[in-house]
Structure 1
Amino acid sequence: MTVSESAAEAELEVEAELLAGLESGVTTAGAPEERFDVEAPFRGTKIGDLPACGPDDVEVAFERARQGQEAWERRSVAERAEVFKRYHDLVIENCEELLDIVQLESGKARRHAYEEVLDVAMTARHYAYRAEDYLESEEREGALPGLTETEVHHHPVGVVGMITPWNYPLSLAVSDAIPALLAGNSVVIKPAEQTSYTALKAIELLREAGLPRDVFRVVTGHGKVIGEPLVAESDFVCFTGSTETGRIVASQAGEHLTKCSMELGGKNPGIVCDDADVDRAVEGLIRGCFTNAGQLCISIERLYVHEDVYGQFVEAFVDAIEGLHVGAGYDHDVDVGSLISEEQLEKVTDHVEEAKAQGATVLTGGTARPDLGPYFYEPTVLTDVDESMTLCANETFGPVVAVYEWSDEDDVIERANDSDYGLNASIWTEDHERGREMATQIETGTVNVNEGYAAAWASLDAPMGGMKNSGIGRRHGDEGIMKYTESQTVSVQKHLGMTNPPGVPHWLYAKLMNKTLKIQRHIPGMR
């Protein structure tokens, strides 16, 4: 056996040890008839296989989740929160193992996998310490001051069905589930086929933190087979993925009158103003455009640069990109990793090749890198992109950005908003007030001033989601937990009723009420 063969065999043994036992977290009705392969994008080779669940498995998962939810709901919010405080610590303590599995399945750079660990830990901590306040019953103004007492209570919806994508397999497998669970719900999740091991590991740690097994159930397999049964069984559906698939899921949820939230695609704009710190903008937009090889729904794919700094910015931007370390590695020195699959590589290649054929100019990149691995693609910058090209308006979801020049602020805002999507935007200016004012005119759910995406994403107390075709509902903040609840209003009427008292004719009651309403309008606190 050669040295290289020995090293490869040792690597496979480490991988097998990483994934050992995780399949036991999959819920099945019996021995699965079919299985599907999971591969390592760095090599394009199989690392394992998992059950391809069917509708019967989904039914069993929901039965068990409903049984578990009843006892879980009876626990106080404070008791539930203790689980997630422990989970916060376990995620940090198991950081390296989590990073290894995320990289193994997704092919992303380790520094980008680490963002997922940070997100999960921070989300667990945020909701663990705030859930009681978010979910606390509230006193509201009654119909008749002094005569009506009204409270609002927040009850769990029941079982939340989640369908999660491959691009952020750790973060999106649990960060949306955490507030759902803290609200007293149980969860059934179908993770992406490409990255199911990551989800299973994340949920294994949740059980280690004290979450009852039946409160979080996992079904693995193909969305076309188990997606619709999962939606049909759910009391609430949380979906993250493409706009195309989101429409299908929303339609299925609508048939059952099931509420849902969705974060979908984006074709996100970045705007570099004439007063921007060019060096800072270059550094931030490198991350904003090429984190996870551009496979990030909030990454920047359209970049508008003011004519006064256009030449300086583009030169520095291209130089910085050409200095990036692209490759397959399990250390923190790699800047850009692999695309997830052959399918994704073909999509990125098709977008760029079509644009080139129709007159776009490639300033850097523009080619696959099979020397690095089967699905690698160079970080790419294009100019002269117009509406005839697919990548002009359609999400590429790869390490590709088109750069445009602008001179008029009203015009660039109009161009930034000229999209069916509305997920994220980035503005670069040294005048923070100018940045805030411009941001309010951008039709996206989040806008980052002097950052690509991380500032808004990591502001966990504020809602995050999309406008237009980029989604329904919000994650994070109070909206991120309250969506998993049913609000109930309880009003107690004391003494007099809500109509004319005995012995008082209705005409006199109406006259007195009209006078009362006029008086109330002028009394603060009674309006």
Structure 2
Amino acid sequence: MTNYKTLNEVITNTELLSDLGSYINGQWIKDEAKGTFPVTDPATHDEKILATIPNLDVDQIDVAIDAGFKEFYNFKDTTIQYRSAQLMKLYDLIIKNKEDLAKLIVLENGKSMFDATSEVNYGASYFKYYAEYITTQGATNIMIQPTNPNNKIFTKKCPVGLISIITPWNFPFAMITRKLSAALAVGCTSIIKPDSQTPLSAIALVKLIDQLDYSPGVVNLILAAHEYTPEFGLKLCESPKIKKLTFTGSTRVGKILMKQCSDTMKKLSFELGGNAPFIVCENVKNLEYAVDQAIAAKFRGLGQTCVCANIFYIHEKVLPKFIEILKPKVEAFVIGHGLDKTTTHGSLINESALNKTNEHVEDALYKGASSVVKGGALSELGKNFYAPTVLTNVSFDSKVCHEETFGPLMAIVPFTDVNSVIAKTNQNSVGLASYVFNDDINELFYISEQLESGMVSCNTGLFSDVNLPFGGIKESGFGKEGSVFGLDDFVVIKSMILGLQPISK
């Protein structure tokens, strides 16, 4: 299958890609007047072109905004039962097309089929969760008794309005569904802007949505080459008709979007960069388990996830055994094209990702680190392939300790005092996720409560789940996605005060 010639040779339901273009007000826009951009397979030698997508004319964004803004006033009044049924139908369609969706993610992103299938399952789960939640536990109206006994306060959670969704390339499917599911559940309309490197799974998702009886304007999709992204983003930020922007990406871009949204005082939620520590304390007895969790936390998606562990603080007493167990496991990875059934880890997204990983490796080695697993570029497979590298005795002044690598480098920093690790971790300007392994429940709670991060994963390396309020603090952003708390970022609270006239007894 890795020798495919066209996309239609790979997927079964070719209708998923029968309309390659933007989707506005219920219509597919395939006008090529503004040129086109290619979508390529990063895991091929020549970066094979998978599809050619028309650039949307920037003026069409206004059409999408007007359509979503107008339709909001109809969609917000739909019943909970209708919205729940629609979400459940979409979940069923995704599961029915799971293999094709996973293959599209593999082809446009480079990750393994296992990782891509996991992403589809994870992404689909949000539609099912909110479909069930809003009909069983979704009561949001509350009565409050104020100090005046003749008054009553009623609060109601109302959908915020038309929202814009801007998503990255590393989870091209799930980063959309995690946001869109909550928006549709509460009654918001949306405009989706995916990364130009990975639009195929987004198109396929919207094709499935198009099969349902959503009114035109409820969901819109806008696509263009990377060079148009700043202009598109500015349009979405500055429009007063868009009431909320939700973004997953870098802290640098998040700050730009936040400034651009300030004139319209939009509601915002940002899931931005991280620099997650992975701490293994000296009392951890099951090091085999800790190593397996470390591998999962670091090398899922070849290190290209926002919650991937970046620095591994391993207590010096358990470090030799930790490395002894780790080394053969990493060396057993099978690097290759994601469609190959034997592949455990695929390619990086592009040369920039490879170059940054290599830069961090060379910097750490220059500053005294020792190589445990050499790793490095695998040019014989393609220009975006990089075998995972494991380094130990990494100096804290190395780049990897202060910058998010977003690649397959495991940097081990030995330690003796966990409080110094906490202090170093909290010096970071970001705080998305942390990992702590400790066999003493009291110490585990102490460390997790001291760490300044939005999520602390205790004795497990995989924690992403639909029930988790996902989000960070500090410069990793604000707002939550998933769980019951994920709905709050798509609503505003309206208070209605009722004055009652006293009745004579």
TM-score (norm 1): 0.88
Give the Cα–Cα distance (whole angstroms) in 2 for the partners of residues 218 and 260 of structure 1.
19
Alignment of 1:365-404 (within 5 A): 365-404=374-413
2:329 is aligned, of 320, 345, 370, to: 320
Kept in 1, the 8 Å contact 2:127–2:177? The answer is no
Kept in 2, the 8 Å contact 1:242–1:265? The answer is yes
Kept in 1, the 8 Å contact 2:124–2:177? The answer is no
1:59 is aligned, of 47, 56, 62, to: 62
Other-structure match for 2:347: 338
Deviations 1:387-433 (A, max 9, x none): 44322200110011210112223222223323111101111123344
Kindly indicate whether residue 371 of structure 2 is the aligned counterpart of residue 362 of structure 1.
yes
C-alpha change, 1:70 and 1:350, in structure 2 (3 Å) is same
Kindly indicate whether residue 40 of structure 2 is the aligned counterpart of residue 39 of structure 1.
yes
Give the Cα–Cα distance (whole angstroms) in 1 for the partners of residues 347 and 149 of structure 2.
65
Per the TM alignment, residue 139 of structure 1 is displaced from its structure 2 partner at its CA by: 2.5
* Residues 115-124 or 126-135, more deviating: 126-135
1:447 is aligned, of 456, 461, 474, to: 456
Alignment of 1:1-12 (within 5 A): 8=3, 10=5
Other-structure match for 2:114: 111
C-alpha change, 1:433 and 1:128, in structure 2 (3 Å) is farther
Alignment of 1:128-527 (within 5 A): 128-132=131-135, 135-144=138-147, 146-221=149-224, 222-233=228-239, 234-276=242-284, 277-452=286-461, 454-455=462-463, 457-458=464-465, 460-495=466-501
Give the Cα–Cα distance (whole angstroms) in 2 for the partners of residues 25 and 418 of structure 1.
43
Q: Which amino acid aligns with 1:78?
A: Q
Kept in 1, the 8 Å contact 2:433–2:456? The answer is yes
Other-structure match for 1:514: none
Give the Cα–Cα distance (whole angstroms) in 2 for the partners of residues 200 and 408 of structure 1.
50
Deviations 1:311-348 (A, max 9, x none): 10012112211111111131554221110012211222
Give the Cα–Cα distance (whole angstroms) in 2 for the partners of residues 18 and 431 of structure 1.
54
SS in 2 for 1:350: helix
Give the Cα–Cα distance (whole angstroms) in 1 for the partners of residues 10 and 341 of structure 2.
19
C-alpha change, 1:163 and 1:442, in structure 2 (3 Å) is same
Per the TM alignment, residue 29 of structure 1 is displaced from its structure 2 partner at its CA by: 9.6
Q: Which amino acid aligns with 2:39?
A: V
C-alpha change, 1:30 and 1:70, in structure 2 (3 Å) is farther
TM-score (norm 2): 0.92
- Structure 1 spans left out of the alignment, 5+ residues: 498-527
Per the TM alignment, residue 359 of structure 1 is displaced from its structure 2 partner at its CA by: 2.8
Other-structure match for 1:14: 9
Per the TM alignment, residue 26 of structure 1 is displaced from its structure 2 partner at its CA by: 3.2
* Residues 263-272 or 127-136, more deviating: 127-136
Per the TM alignment, residue 438 of structure 1 is displaced from its structure 2 partner at its CA by: 1.9
Give the Cα–Cα distance (whole angstroms) in 2 for the partners of residues 26 and 158 of structure 1.
19
Give the Cα–Cα distance (whole angstroms) in 2 for the partners of residues 18 and 332 of structure 1.
25
Identical columns (%):
28
Give the Cα–Cα distance (whole angstroms) in 2 for the partners of residues 254 and 304 of structure 1.
39
C-alpha change, 1:433 and 1:203, in structure 2 (3 Å) is farther
Q: Which amino acid aligns with 2:424?
A: R
Per the TM alignment, residue 202 of structure 1 is displaced from its structure 2 partner at its CA by: 1.3
Kept in 2, the 8 Å contact 1:164–1:190? The answer is yes
Kindly indicate whether residue 88 of structure 2 is the aligned counterpart of residue 85 of structure 1.
yes
C-alpha change, 1:256 and 1:281, in structure 2 (3 Å) is same
Kept in 2, the 8 Å contact 1:136–1:154? The answer is no
Give the Cα–Cα distance (whole angstroms) in 2 for the partners of residues 13 and 82 of structure 1.
31
Larger radius of gyration: 1
Give the Cα–Cα distance (whole angstroms) in 2 for the partners of residues 140 and 308 of structure 1.
57
Deviations 1:466-492 (A, max 9, x none): 111111211122321121112100111
Give the Cα–Cα distance (whole angstroms) in 2 for the partners of residues 294 and 61 of structure 1.
35
SS in 2 for 1:92: helix
Other-structure match for 1:506: none
Deviations 1:122-164 (A, max 9, x none): 2111111112466534223222364221111111111100110
Give the Cα–Cα distance (whole angstroms) in 2 for the partners of residues 31 and 13 of structure 1.
22
The answer to which structure has the higher helix fraction is 1
Give the Cα–Cα distance (whole angstroms) in 2 for the partners of residues 67 and 241 of structure 1.
29
Per the TM alignment, residue 34 of structure 1 is displaced from its structure 2 partner at its CA by: 2.0
Per the TM alignment, residue 285 of structure 1 is displaced from its structure 2 partner at its CA by: 0.9
2:23 is aligned, of 7, 26, 47, to: 26
SS in 1 for 2:386: coil
Other-structure match for 1:522: none
Give the Cα–Cα distance (whole angstroms) in 2 for the partners of residues 131 and 72 of structure 1.
15
Deviations 1:226-277 (A, max 9, x none): 1110122221000000111111011111122111100000110011122221
C-alpha change, 1:55 and 1:332, in structure 2 (3 Å) is same
Give the Cα–Cα distance (whole angstroms) in 2 for the partners of residues 114 and 294 of structure 1.
17
C-alpha change, 1:359 and 1:128, in structure 2 (3 Å) is same
Q: Which amino acid aligns with 2:489?
A: K
Kept in 2, the 8 Å contact 1:360–1:384? The answer is yes
Deviations 1:159-191 (A, max 9, x none): 100110000001012221110111111010110
Kept in 1, the 8 Å contact 2:430–2:475? The answer is yes
Give the Cα–Cα distance (whole angstroms) in 1 for the partners of residues 140 and 338 of structure 2.
50
Q: CA RMSD in A?
A: 2.2
SS in 2 for 1:153: strand
Q: Which amino acid aligns with 1:374?
A: K
Other-structure match for 1:509: none
Give the Cα–Cα distance (whole angstroms) in 2 for the partners of residues 243 and 450 of structure 1.
28
